[in-house]
Amino acid sequence: MAKMFALLAAFALASHASAKVSIKLHRREFSLNERLQTVRAQADVLKAKYGGSHTDIVLQNAFNMDYYGEIEVGTPGQKELVMFDTGSSNLWVPNKQPPFGDKNIYSPENSSTYEPNGTVFKILYGSGPVSGTFCADDVTIGSLHLSNFTFAMVDNTTGMDRLYRHAPFDGILGLGWPSISVGGVPTVMEALVASGQLEEPVFGFFLGNHADGELEIGGVDPNHYKGSFTYVPLSHEDWWQVALDGISLGVTGTSLSTTKRAIIDSGTSLLMGPAAEVHSIMETFNAIYFKGMYAIRCSQEIPAISFTLGGKSFSLTKDDIITDRFNGLCLLGILGAPLADMWILGDVFMRRHYCLFDWGQKRIGFAEVATSAAVNDIHV
């Protein structure tokens, strides 16, 4: 491009001096990859100039425990199934099969746009660590495209062991904030916003109940929520963290919690809170500890549990928090953990409440899920 501007400047200067200039243009054939890169660059410029777009990603549902969708990495695109995780900020995909695994493996040698980096990548999740090295390549998410994006190729997942081997996804795409990005590399949302491709710097989650869901990047889908949003400002830019006003049962309004913050985490299947608070709530339910989880008799009635955020209560009924049934027992999707003054509101909460993550205004919007929303309304 710089050479082209130099030629044009020289031509203009020569014309002004009434000199006769003859320029012979030599044509060369461009490779398919070069043509694709040119088209993508032009598309990005047009989107930035005339307004961006948004894309809908189908989230496949594995037993109401994992939601994951498809992206492509490299040129030509290699399919990867990733969990879209608001509780972390890095993208990683495997480039080596785990023992007895059956994952979609990213092969850098098969991508014409792969750029090596070699910097070591290590990250620790609640389920264990993974590690590998950073690299850069093209990443496509629905209709959105990032060129030369830095992510990690993971070759060691032994820390997650069977949990990863049997997981339905291949990698994780973090949607958290730059402050928790391992290696300080740009996040996917950071790069998408900077590229000018999005209509709005937001994304919204609809998690189906024993059905597929949808992640919309660049907007929200009005088919999947009803009423208006209650917006709560972020209390810190790391995870998607907001102030927690209180937790109550039924209509009493008396708070059962002294915890002052909550994280909305699409990468956590359940509700998790400080062990002492969870134990107190489970005692109120007369719950028993069964196979590592709390359970009640399925015939038993329990009050709704409400989380107050931004001055408004968001409730979960008995049906909302039941994750499985076993011989007349109903397992509850609430676990106690050694958390420091924090509740994690995972998929159990997000199935009941549509969550709009507003990157631009640093806030989260909550609305009631439209339970009539059909899976076939979802499109890519």
Helix (H) or strand (E) holding 355: strand 353-358
What pTM, to 2 d.p., does this model score?
0.83
Burial bucket for residue 325 (CB in 10 Å: 0-12, 13-18, 19+):
exposed
The CATH number given to 221-377 is 2.40.70.10
* Extents of the domains making up the chain: 55-199, 221-377
What are 6-27's pLDDT values in tens digits?
A: 222 332 323 333 332 222 233 3
Active-site choice (85, 138, 170, 245): 85
To the nearest 10 degrees (0 to 180), the angle between helices 32-50 and 188-195 is 70
Would you call 265 a catalytic residue per the annotation? yes
- At 161, the pLDDT band (50, 70, 90 cuts) reads confident
Cα(31)–Cα(335) distance, integer angstroms: 55
Range 148-173 average pLDDT: 94
pLDDT at 174: 98
- Domain 55-199 matches domain 221-377 at the CATH topology level: yes
pLDDT at 52: 56
Structure tokens at 24: 């012979």
Active-site choice (44, 265, 347, 358): 265
What are 60-84's pLDDT values in tens digits?
A: 999 999 999 999 999 999 999 999 9
Would you call 341 a catalytic residue per the annotation? no
CATH code 3.30.70.260 for 55-199 = no
